[in-house]
Amino acid sequence: MRSSISLGRIGGIPVGLNASVLVIVVILLVGLAFGRFPAVFPGYSPVVYLLAGLATALLFLASLLAHELSHALMAERHGIDVAHITLWLLGGVAELRGEPRSPGADLKIAAVGPLTSLVCGVIFGAIALLVAAADGAPLLAGMFVYLAAVNVILAVFNLIPAAPLDGGRVLRAALWSRWGDRTRAAVTAARAGRAFGYVLIVLGFLQIVTGSGFQGLWLALIGLFLVNAASAEEQQAQLGSALHGVRVGDVMSDRLVIAHPDETVAELVDRVVMRERLSTYPLVEHDMRFLGLVTLNRIRQVPPDARPVTRLRDIACPPGQVPAARPDEALTDLLTRMGGCADGRAVVLDPDGRLIGLLTPSDISRVIQTAGLHAGDPYHAPRGADLTTRHPDRPLDRSGR
């Protein structure tokens, strides 16, 4: 779920809106300004209803952001990096770069979200009481009553024990603590989530055929999302189990075809691209210090007539945006960070920041397909078709020939 509109950083965490969140704003605005508010609080002008609907929609998004931000801050407190927070059509997503290390951490990260929504509900309810006690406008009090009710409902719904809802995470933490097996707990929570999603889809279709078309469609959409997300979580849990104990150094390709940042695109194409079946070219200095990454996709984007004058540094993914790892890092930890402008690639660096290896989608795909076939034998670990592998006592070929 990618952000289309950046809202900056909160607590150092990038926050943004996906374009689909505008659907939520429109639904709330129309439903409140032309439905609920005129019916419950008559006597105001259409402009006032529109302003009240818009303010309510924006405050609801703010409460969603508070929910996701609480997850993110708690995750960082337990040593898990947060890539970004995105608000979208069905709520919000806090993308974590890693997994909790204990059932207790898992429980705290999961439970803090519904607790935050409940606190928001209490705050909005208190504001509504204050407005009513001060003889404020009934419409204003009604706005905060609505926001209080929605946040309480959001907290209760999220506590349903079905992944990927927060209640599913709570269930996972409880089962993990009881069984001592995180994978088994995660798979069970995911299957509960998938079953709950199917129930929502059935209920949605029943509402559609009985005349509640919009509500039924919305319910079915939520159910479909839960089914897909729960299935993905189950696959991720099983993948993490299959790759348990595999280190980045066991999988990385360490015979590298490197290039200099001042080399032109045309020179690289003539020297390597047209001769070798490769798609990834790290840029380094003479001491192998990593300076960027060029992929075949980036080369293709350069017009043919511009290639003789375009330097590789001008099209490279900057080093700060390329996922980096140490050879002894768990492969599953790196997988959560692989993305962005590097086209699914990652570099492996030594403690001094010098390039010693590379991971490509081919490497990852191969190790997933053959996970466990050579457990504990790094020299027989599967390697990607994108790059070749040298024996540890052979010199590094830096020419690519």
Just list the catalytic residues.
Answer: 68
Sequence-ordered strand ranges (E) for 144-204: none
DSSP 3-state of 14 = strand
Closest CA to 301 of 284, 318, 317: 317
Closest CA to 120 of 143, 147, 141: 147
Please name the residues in contact with 239: beta carbons below 8 A apart, sequence gap of 6 or more: 332, 368
Closest CA to 382 of 362, 397, 357, 400: 362
Q: Which amino acid does the sequence have at 178? A: R
Q: Tokens 């504990």 — which residue?
A: 376
The strands making up 13-17's β-sheet, listed across from edge to edge, are 5-10, 13-17, 81-88, 91-97
The strands making up 346-349's β-sheet, listed across from edge to edge, are 324-325, 346-349, 355-359
Cα 44 to Cα 85, 140, 335, distances in angstroms: 37, 11, 55
What tokens does 178 get? 């009881």
- Phi and psi angles of residue 91, each rounded to the nearest 5 degrees, phi first: 130, -125
